[in-house]
Amino acid sequence: MRVCLSIAIALFCSCICSSAVAADKIAASLRDAHKLVDCMEAFNGACVVKRTYNEYLYRQGASADQITRNVRDLYAQLKAMGGKFTHFELAQPQAIDSSDAREFVFIPYDQVLELRGREHQSKAYFIGVSDDHGETWRFVDGMQINEKNIRLIIPGYTGTPPLPPIYSEAPSSGT
């Protein structure tokens, strides 16, 4: 009887501990995603690069200098065009999964970017990737990601969890 009780207590404690670890990883992914959004809203390309998961680009032959230059140029151009995010909201991250010794999570977002008086709304997601068991996260914007190319980022992706939906609205006239 004592053995059964001990096993039941151990299983219960194990479930509580694994739930707490998962919650910590989710919180860390959301914390780091907010840091990325802060960089984006400041149009700070160098900061965005530091928070971006670029390893899949390196595997395709891109250099760190090329990526940094391209991202800096993009954010400088958006800033020069008077760009500003008028809305940027992160949703609750989906369940964390793992593939190839990395953990990943999808964090849906809803954003409105205003450029030259025109608003462009996007609903997509960040793919968060952690190489350190969920302590820190770097991200890829999922706007151009689909079932065919996600394996460039997550080679062992099995389709679970499913990719979140994507929506992009053409710019409308500002008021």
Is the bond into 161 cis (omega within 30 degrees of 0)?
yes
CA angle 139, 48, 122 (to 5 degrees): 65
Q: Are 102 and 131 in contact (CB under 8 A)?
A: yes
Instruction: Name the region of 101 (left: φ>0; alpha: ψ -120 to 50; beta: rest).
Output: left
pLDDT tens for the chain, 175 residues long, are 565 545 544 445 444 444 566 789 999 999 999 999 999 999 999 999 999 999 999 999 999 999 999 999 999 999 999 999 999 999 999 877 876 678 999 999 999 999 998 999 999 999 999 999 999 999 999 999 998 899 999 888 888 888 999 998 866 554 4
Q: Mind listing the pLDDT tens digit for each residue in 65-113?
A: 999 999 999 999 999 999 999 999 999 998 778 766 789 999 999 999 9
- Distance of alpha carbon 149 from alpha carbon 52, whole angstroms: 17
Tell me the Cα Rg of the chain: 19
Residue range 2-173, CATH number: 3.10.450.100
Whole-model pTM: value is 0.82
